[in-house]
Chains A and B, each alone.
Chain A
């Protein structure tokens, strides 16, 4: 998986551009605040350079500089014990657990629904509108209700959050897998008919393997959606911890650096999950002759 030199240059260019824009934005957004602080302290002898440096190193900036976020992440990931509630690893693991449970449930549900929709024709028109409707309700409005309803039945802890993660992840998986199961060409289906294959055999030997590319694409979207669901659920019920709780706490106390560190941790988690699925895809692709 070595990255050739040719493709490193564009990657580095983009990263540098993002950093430059970020620093410029941080300095511009924080400078008025810093100017006020200087005024309050009765200082007027600062240079522009002083202002910029100070703007990028505020304790509670509007937009923290990249180095501040990195420093906060190093502090809360490496320098803090994972068992501490101040550790991003502690919160990240909570989120990961909810995400994975929710994702597995969502994937099973999504694939199951797709199988049902593909094999029972009338279910397509009767079920699909409900599935679409389920996704038009803003999850941020629905999540507290799911938590409340489930707690009525004494379902608390990880389960309600995994349920919300599953709720968000099943839909893209259903849509992708329906498309995938329907992807065989008419000729490939005719072939199965000439063998008088049962519908189970047609599914197992044609529809399922043909859906492989769609499967991996669906899984990637579903995993990312599950993570979003878990974080939204954590915001709703923040006493249990998790990256969402960390985001909420950060915004309560104006700890923007902490918010951004949690955001990056969530992004890294999502990227890791998608990357892992991509790895499995490559291995499967090699076995199935897709890797050329």
Chain B
């Protein structure tokens, strides 16, 4: 018989309410990479506040530092200056407390694990019991419409399914915050539309805070509550655009004048940030 008491790992976010205050607060963050060709200013004096439950997209040309910013929030990069707070903690504490799930550009599934095994990976590391792991994996598979694919290996799945599995993996331990780095960048338009809708539904259901890096203007406008427009050399924020469509929005809103107006503002912001000097 399984004992009734299941030892909960030391993560808040699972069950306990998150602390008050903004989910993420970026204050005057600069980040310089030392490369062989000299220093590269990836981020310069970035300020940003993300409230709980928001869906914030980061958009900008290559080299604008949007991925670097996301990685800095995740404590995968260390800012040279400035401060980042995640759930009121510094980024290392937040990472050690497993405050966020990270979805990378490529699914980064471990090829020797089945889909279910991949989703269970963070749970194994965080010390969940076998019974709870199985339950959460099942829930995760259902959440991303992959029920019945648990025993498949990653190579047996399409690119879109792999990326869905990686989203289920990031959500399996129920973090408050979801950091997504161009998760649908490598997928075709149709699959992308479908996954955008699924992601929106998921966000609506779970109420998580999402930070989402993208190259696509329609994707950003369709998904977000706020769009952060960034520009390169040095990487900085040039505009933050509110985007208040209802949470249960459908793909059709992309034809509305409001949608097009916001998309246009994003486009103008991007254009202003681009320098076309040769």
- Chain A interface (Cβ within 8 Å of chain B)? 185, 187-188, 190-197, 201, 205-206, 209-210, 212, 288-290, 292
Contact = CB atoms under 8 A, between A and B. Distances in A.
Contact of A290 (B75, B111, B122): B111
B257 to A, nearest CB: 40
A185 B111 CA distance: 12
Nearest to B105: A187
A194 to B, nearest CB: 4
Given A205-B121, A205-B124, A290 B112 contact: yes
Interface in B107-152: 108, 110-114, 121-122, 124-126
Nearest to A184: B110
A191 B154 CA distance: 16
B98 to A, nearest CB: 6
Contacts of A193: 75-76, 95
B153 interface: yes
Given A195-B98, A201-B125, 20 more contacts: A187-B104, A187-B108, A188-B110, A191-B102, A192-B125, A193-B76, A194-B76, A194-B95, A194-B102, A195-B121, A195-B125, A195-B126, A196-B96, A196-B97, A205-B124, A209-B112, A210-B110, A212-B112, A288-B112, A289-B111
Q: Which 8 A-B pairs have the closest CB atoms?
A: A289-B153, A288-B112, A194-B102, A187-B108, A196-B96, A197-B125, A195-B122, A195-B125
A102 B108 CA distance: 39
Contacts of B75: 193
B202 to A, nearest CB: 19
Contacts of A210: 110, 112
Contacts of A288: 111-112
B108 A185 contact: yes
Nearest to A187: B108
B212 interface: no
A181 to B, nearest CB: 14
Contacts of B114: 289
A195 B105 CA distance: 17
Interface residues of B, number: 27
| Residue among A188, A196, A209, A290 with max Cβ neighbours from chain B (10 Å) | A196
A191 B108 contact: yes
A288 to B, nearest CB: 4
Contacts of B121: 195, 205
Contact residues of A: prevailing secondary structure: helix
A187 B124 CA distance: 19
B58 interface: no
A185 B121 CA distance: 17
A190 B104 contact: yes
B106 interface: yes
Contacts of B98: 195-196
A289 B95 contact: no
Contact of B125 (A187, A188, A205): A205
B275 to A, nearest CB: 30
B269 interface: no
Nearest to A192: B125
Contacts of A206: 110
Given A289-B153, A289-B155, A194 B101 contact: yes
A190 B102 CA distance: 9
Contacts of A290: 111-112
Interface in B171-226: none
Given A196-B95, A289-B155, A190 B125 contact: no
B76 A289 contact: no
Nearest to B100: A194
B74 interface: yes
A288 B155 CA distance: 12
19 contacts: A187-B108, A190-B76, A190-B104, A191-B104, A193-B76, A194-B76, A195-B121, A195-B126, A196-B96, A197-B125, A201-B125, A205-B110, A209-B113, A210-B110, A210-B112, A212-B112, A289-B114, A289-B155, A290-B112
